[in-house]
Each structure stands twice: as C-alpha cells, then as structure tokens.
C-alpha cells in the first residue's frame, strides 16, 4: 500500500506570516502550494461582484460550486483575470472571514482544497488545514504573533503595494477577526494537539522558514532543493 502524499499544514491568524512562510517552504521543497485563505477570499470577491449576500448560505454554496479559479506564479485568477491585489483588500478579507463561518460554504470548498494534494507533496496554509482539511498531515505548524506585530506587518504590506492603509483601523479589524475566528462554532481557529507552535513576533521570515524546513527534515518528509 502506497504512502499518502505528505502535507505540511501551516495554520495561524491573519498576518502571522503563514502565507509567506508556506510559499517559501513549498519553493524550497519543490512541492505544491495551497493558499486556502485565497480560496475563501476569491469566493468573497465573487460574491460581492455577483451581489450574493454574505449571509445567503445556499447562494454562496452554489457560487462556490461554479467558482472559476486558478493559482499561478504571478498570483490568483478569478474567471481568467488576475485579482491578486483585490484579494489583499481589507474589505475582502473581512467578507471572507464572515462567509467562512457558514458550514455549507466550508463543505463546498473542502474537496476543492483537498484536490491540491498532489505528488511530491503539498504545503497548505490557512486556519484549519491541520485540524479539518488535512488532519493526517505528518507536520502541522501553528504560527502566531502579537496582534500589534501583525497589524504592523499588514500595514507595511499594503503600503508597499500602493494600497490605502490605516494602522489603527487594521489593529481594530485584526482584533475583531481574531475574536470571530477563535469563537466560531465551525472549525474555530486554534492549534491542534499535535501542532508545533511557532511565535513569529521576533522572528524574521527566513528564520521561520528554516524552522519549518528543519522540522520537515526531522520527519524525513523531503530533502530541500
């Protein structure tokens, strides 16, 4: 019986660095990458553009079933157009967080996420990769950082992309989103019992990536390229 395709699940709150770390780890290992947050953001963007209310669970499920998305090196595409910058907008992030609490929506997107599990392996980042989507992942990392540090990082990211950003507003939004994600009834944001906690408040991205790669090597998942 062949071994299952290995998965490194990297979970954590918004702006903890999980997306950047996951992408760099996947690049080092030569594995596939799943940015699960982008899938929810893509659905949120499609819902806003198609005027589907965020509380319309049935409508969102139908939209998820027909969602025309793809990921390439230069970003995420919705219906053939690059929407990478749109996905970084706080309004889209907040909308994604709201629709993510709906059980039907989560189930509709579940199989789509699991389809990214392809040889030689997958690095998946999100909020429930280790707990729900890939519970058999041999390596689960839970990244965290102080909310002040995360707000500062997000502010810097938006400014560098030429997008409007207010630090106080970002701090307020992150605190609200943390509370919503942590307290939701379906797949609340929390580390699994078998997750390795990594606080990135004082770590550089390179240090966080090196930590994950060492853990992967310890488990003999792969040898970095």
> Does residue 184 register a pLDDT over 70?
no
**Cα torsion through 19, 95, 117, 220, rounded to 10:** 30
Q: pLDDT tens digits, residue range 71-82?
A: 766 678 899 999
Which H helix or E strand runs over 8?
strand 7-11
CA of 223: how far to CAs of 22, 102, 111, 170, 188, in Å?
Answer: 16, 39, 28, 38, 33
Q: pLDDT tens digits, residue range 31-85?
A: 998 888 889 999 999 999 999 999 999 999 999 988 888 776 667 889 999 999 8
Confidence of residue 224 (pLDDT cuts 50, 70, 90): very low
- 208 phi and psi angles, rounded to 5 deg: -65, -40
CA dihedral (181, 102, 61, 176) positive or negative:
negative
How many of the other CB atoms lie within 10 Å of CB of 124? 28
**Predicted TM-score (pTM) of this structure:** 0.78
The overall average pLDDT reported for the chain is: 87
Architecture of domain 7-218: 3-Layer(aba) Sandwich (3.40)
The domain spans of the chain are: 7-218
Give the residue among 192, 202, 174, 216 at the shortest CA–CA distance from 11.
192
């Amino acid at each position: 019986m062949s071994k299952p395709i290995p998965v490194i699940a990297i979970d954590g709150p918004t702006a903890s660095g999980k997306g950047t770390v996951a992408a760099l780890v996947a690049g080092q290992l030569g594995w596939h990458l799943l940015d699960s947050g982008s899938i929810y953001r893509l659905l949120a963007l499609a819902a806003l553009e198609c005027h589907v209310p965020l509380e319309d669970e049935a409508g969102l499920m139908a939209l998820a079933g027909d969602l025309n998305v793809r990921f390439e090196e230069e970003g995420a595409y919705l219906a053939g157009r690059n929407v990478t910058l749109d996905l970084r907008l706080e309004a889209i992030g907040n909308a994604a967080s709201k629709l993510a609490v709906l059980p039907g929506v989560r189930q509709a997107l579940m199989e789509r996420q699991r389809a990214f599990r392809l040889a030689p392996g997958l690095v998946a980042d999100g909020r429930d990769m280790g707990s729900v989507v890939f519970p058999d992942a041999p390596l689960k990392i839970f990244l965290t950082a102080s909310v002040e540090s995360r707000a500062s990082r997000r502010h810097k990211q938006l400014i560098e992309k030429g997008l409007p950003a207010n630090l106080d507003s970002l701090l307020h939004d992150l605190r609200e989103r943390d509370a919503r994600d942590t307290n939701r009834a379906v797949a609340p944001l929390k580390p699994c019992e078998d997750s390795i906690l990594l606080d990135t408040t004082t770590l550089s991205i390179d240090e966080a990536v090196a930590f994950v790669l060492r853990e992967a090597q310890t488990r003999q998942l792969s040898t970095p390229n």
